[in-house]
Amino acid sequence: MRLVAIVVTHNPDLERFRIVIDQVSKQVNRVLMVDNDSKDRDKLRDLCRTAGNCDFVEVGFNSGVAHALRRGISYANRYAPDWLLFLDDDTILMDNAVDRALGLIQNYRNLSSRIGAVLLGSQVGNCDIGEVKYGVFSGTLIRADVAAKACCRDEFFMDQADHDMYSRIRELGYLTLGIKCKLIDHKLGTKR
């Protein structure tokens, strides 16, 4: 199964981002770093080059997450992926998170053709899988063919865009599932 990760960047904390890239590059076939006009883009490009299986895709302006993901999906087509993994520049994959998630999905063989997206959990749990109505982009495993149809509309902002994508996936007749255990380290929002 070919898996391409799309990591959207905009001025990430470089120390944490090194961990993000290190973890994801070990778990997928290809990483696409889609940069929304970061100040340190030369450093990001170097990190991508160091990973070895990473392509740096420069948007040229801060386009927002939805536009950057669409750019990444279009670019990913050259690798003919079966699945895409959407990540923010601060979302760290736990060791073997992708293999664990794909293994759990494969346990649902009778439903595998109906699964459109799977949200990787960020909380400690027993790794049960259940239906989710609304998820977030970061930590979403999504079938590449479904991503091309369901992601993402610029006219929605932040959480609205995430929720819209999950809704569109279900409207296409696919299941949106969530894994209830810690496969990613990701905190939603910022403290004020």
- What is the rounded average pLDDT of the residues 118-129? 92
Strand partners, 33: 7, 56
Token pair 């904390």 in the structure block, residue = 13
Q: Token match 């259940």: residue?
A: 130
Cα radius of gyration (the chain): 15
Taking the C-alpha atoms of residue 63 and residue 52, their distance in angstroms, rounded to an integer, is 26
Give 81-100 pLDDT, tens digit per residue. Answer: 999 999 999 999 999 999 99
Structure tokens at 127: 């790794």
Q: Rounded CA gap, 133 and 52, in Å? A: 36
Joined tokens for residue 163? 């929720």
Q: Is the pLDDT of residue 108 over 80?
A: no
| Structure confidence by residue, pLDDT tens digits, 51-61 | 999 999 999 99
Half-sphere exposure of 83 (CA within 13 A, CB side): 24
> pTM value?
0.94
> CA 48 to CA 113: how far, in whole Å?
33
Phi, psi of 127 (to 5 degrees): 65, 25
DSSP tag of 12: -
Q: What is the pLDDT of residue 25?
A: 98
* Tokens matching residue 15: 């120390």
Q: How far apart are CA 112 and CA 82, in angstroms?
A: 12
* pLDDT band (50, 70, 90) for residue 190: low
Contact assessment for residue 89 and residue 8, using Cβ atoms and an 8 Å cutoff: yes
